[in-house]
Amino acid sequence: MTNGRVTGVRSIELGVRDLHQSAEFYTKVWALEEVSSDGDSIHFRATGGDHHVLTIRERANPSLLGVHFAAVDRAAVDQLCAKAKGYGVEVASRSTRVAIATSSRTAAGASAFA
């Protein structure tokens, strides 16, 4: 039986008023690397093996849009989602599997919003 534990924070998603000004901040101050963009969203990579650790999305008001957690496997993610729902958390999207480039193990991530 899998132990439904979070093994790390995979990425966060923020709503920002000015996408380009915020992107400049995260690249110049935090030294993150822009890896992809799509319309109102930009993804940033840090020094680890994950594709991205931060996503910013242009919104009318600054906000925390999501926190994406890592777990050892699909069963652990399902257990974590069930636990979160038991505490009244609305799980905003179906959890997904994400391959970690620097490791032979596969992690699974889930997004949840309070």
pTM, two decimal places: 0.72
CATH fold for the domain made of 8-112? 2,3-Dihydroxybiphenyl 1,2-Dioxygenase; domain 1 (3.10.180)
> Three-state SS string across 29-73, please?
CCCCEEEEEECCEEEEECCCCCCCCEEEEECCCCEEEEEEEEECC
Q: Report the greatest alpha carbon distance in the chain.
A: 47
φ, ψ of residue 40 in degrees (nearest 5): -95, 20
**Shortest CA distance to 46 belongs to which of 61, 62, 31?**
31
Q: Quote the pLDDT of residue 55.
A: 97
Structure-model confidence comparison of residues 33 and 95, the more confident one: 33
Give percent above pLDDT 70 in the chain: 78
Give the pLDDT confidence of 21-52 residue by residue, as tens digits: 999 999 999 999 999 999 999 999 999 888 99
Residue 10: what residue type?
R
